[in-house]
Structure 1
């Protein structure tokens, strides 16, 4: 009978996955840097609480999609070896598409949240 994992084991394994992805995947590092920039801009612009919720939702979606994309790519690469089967390509492309879709969603949220205060700031400074 298999040993049941504790909640501590479950969270440790999940955190190991996030750390491994952050240390090895360039795109995840880019998303983390953009996440930090969004959080900083939100703080500087003092966005309202609801906007914070939208920004956090978008950030969580993009980071989750990138983690899933990494998992799909690793699993497919493990099972197909050197030769890429058409179904393996389909799986990898679909996972990458999920990241793209979530990133576009996040960009739209960013425009909705940041455009009004940035436009007001530009008008206040006489740039517009």
Structure 2
């Protein structure tokens, strides 16, 4: 029986796989590229307007949430297409719901960004 790898080795491998997945997502998905651009813009705005620690926490949390949900949406779409490549009403529903989750996170992110930045312009 082969020797079982240590907990640390397994965790390092998991981090490697996760990093690979993130790179694939960034390289292949146009929507994540748009979200990265928006994240860069609001990050620069955060430094420019010297937002508070609490505002940074909210902003970084929303960036992470939107991008994470987008990654899950991409994975759901890929597995749905793999399972049923041709159009199917149920697969369409599944993909729409996953996209809806990204939309909800994005709306909340815009609301939080508005709460942070609109007062800076007024």
Q: State the TM-score, normalizing by the size of structure 2.
A: 0.91
Match of 2:102, SS state, is: helix
Q: How much does 1:86 deviate?
A: 1.7
Which residue of 69, 80, 100 maps to 1:97?
100
The residue that corresponds to 1:116 in the other structure is 119
CA distance in 2, matches of 1:118, 1:70: 35
Aligned residues: 118
The residue that corresponds to 1:22 in the other structure is 26
Q: How much does 1:118 deviate?
A: 1.8
CA distance in 2, matches of 1:44, 1:10: 36
The residue that corresponds to 1:36 in the other structure is 40
Provide, for residues 28-65 of structure 1, a one-character-per-residue CA deviation record: whole Å limited to 9, x for no partner.
Answer: 00000000001000010000000101101111110011
CA distance in 1, matches of 2:99, 2:91: 12
Which structure 2 residue ranges, 5 or more long, are not aligned?
none
Q: State the TM-score, normalizing by the size of structure 1.
A: 0.87
Query: Which deviates further from its counterpart, 84-93 or 97-106?
Result: 84-93
Q: CA RMSD in A?
A: 1.6
Match of 1:6, SS state, is: helix
The residue that corresponds to 2:67 in the other structure is 63
